[in-house]
Amino acid sequence: MIKDYIKLVAVFLVFFITINLEINKVTPPLFSYFFCALILLFGIAAYRRHRTKYVRTMFIVLAAVQFISCLVLPYWILNRSLPLNASWPYFPEVIWTAGTLAVWYYAISFVLIPVAVYLYGRRAWCSFVCGTGATAETIGDSYRTAGPKAAGVPRGFTAFKWVVLALSVAATVLALAGYSRASLFNLVFLVFFILFLRTLLMQAVNIILMPRFGNRIWCRYFCPQGLVAGLISRAGRFALVRDDSLCSRCGTCTRNCSMAVDITGGPAVNRSGECVGCGVCVEVCPQQALSMTTGRVTVPDKAGIPG
């Protein structure tokens, strides 16, 4: 366990130092090189630990997406610094600092993500495209069983992402009203969004405490993008389906769920907005009782009620 913490502190320090060098324009794109290298390195190890085609494909896609959207397109081709897979409300500043790429960030934030999530579930963003999701799935792959699960998650704790979303909306409205040029606005943004949210919670806590709280601490408790994607996914076509004629209620799926979805005890057709569609529960189920669908659900639950 100590080795795990040492490894994760080293990863955090690499991220922290290189991203700050990049913010200060000292050595861009050093962070992106390290980030892509770590995703590739841990992604290969994670790929080898898993056996289903779906989960393995996820590792390949997310590594390719990070390489293209964090390094190749912004730095090698467009000569810009913001990753193309940044989005509102996770990165509210894309709305007021994007310049000529504003159209792209509006499109990805308000059209592409909502439509993809509605059609294919939250996984379309959180497991295949998001950079923090990529960190969780690769660097955090060994820590899926850590942390509270299902009913063990303190309910009030997950309310914090609503606060982050409200502050993202407030910052956006103020910035569009012209406050982004004021030094007080920039100071509050630096302290809350950059230092508190992104440095302390999204990097330090989310990475270093994985062995204690699991691999998706940020996604589970803090992310405003995940909150919005979850609400859309809940209303959309994606569902995790449990075939109760096969399920033995062993709880293996729930223990392996990084998003603490109550798979064993929840409904047979689960449209929890928390599920990021990583596919690991389907992979580990010894009874092969689980599947994911975006179509009409026909599997009946124990009471014989079709989903």
Tokens of 72: 């190749």
CA angle 162, 164, 165 (to 5 degrees): 65
**Number of residues binding to ligand SF4, judged by CB under 6 A:** 26
65 near ligand SF4, rule: CB under 6 A: no
Distance CA 88, CA 150 (A): 28
Contacts of 7 (CB under 8 A, 6+ apart): none
- Is 240 among the residues that bind ligand SF4 (CB under 6 A)? yes
Q: Which of 71, 82, 197, 278 binds ligand SF4 (CB under 6 A)?
A: 278
For position 264 contacting ligand SF4 by CB under 6 A, the verdict is no
Token output for 15? 């991220």
**Is 130 an interacting residue with respect to ligand SF4 (CB under 6 A)?**
yes
Which residues inside 3-62 make contact with ligand SF4, applying CB under 6 A?
Answer: none
The span of 21-29, 51-59, 122-130, 145-153 binding ligand SF4 (CB under 6 A) equals 122-130
Contact yes or no for 141/244 (Cβ under 8 A): no
**Segment interacting with ligand SF4 (CB under 6 A) among 37-45, 48-56, 60-68, 125-133:** 125-133
Given candidates 28, 92, 133, 140, which one binds ligand SF4 under the rule CB under 6 A?
A: 133
Binding of ligand SF4 at residue 116 (CB under 6 A)? no
> Which residue in the shown chain puts its C-beta closest to ligand SF4?
226
Q: Does 193 bind ligand SF4 (CB under 6 A)?
A: no
Q: What is the smallest separation between the CB atom of 275 and ligand SF4, expressed in angstroms?
A: 3
Q: Write the interaction track for ligand SF4 spanning residues 208-237; mark x where CB under 6 A is met and - where it is not.
A: ----------xx---x-xx--x--------
Minimum Å distance from CB 263 to ligand SF4?
5
Residue with Cβ nearer ligand SF4 (105 or 125): 125
Task: Choose the binding region for ligand SF4 from 26-34, 130-138, 171-179, 186-194 (rule: CB under 6 A).
Answer: 130-138
Distance in Å, CB of 223 to ligand SF4, minimum? 3
CA angle 295, 297, 299 (to 5 degrees): 145
Q: Does 280 bind ligand SF4 (CB under 6 A)?
A: yes
Name residue 300's beta-bridge partners. Answer: 306
Out of 19, 275, 285, 299, the residue judged to bind ligand SF4 by CB under 6 A: 275
Output the smallest distance, CB 147 to ligand SF4, in A: 12
Pairwise CA distance, residues 66 & 36, whole Å: 6
In the complex, which residues of this chain contact ligand SF4 (CB under 6 A)? Answer: 90, 125-126, 130, 132-133, 218-219, 223, 225-226, 229, 240, 256-259, 261, 263, 275-281
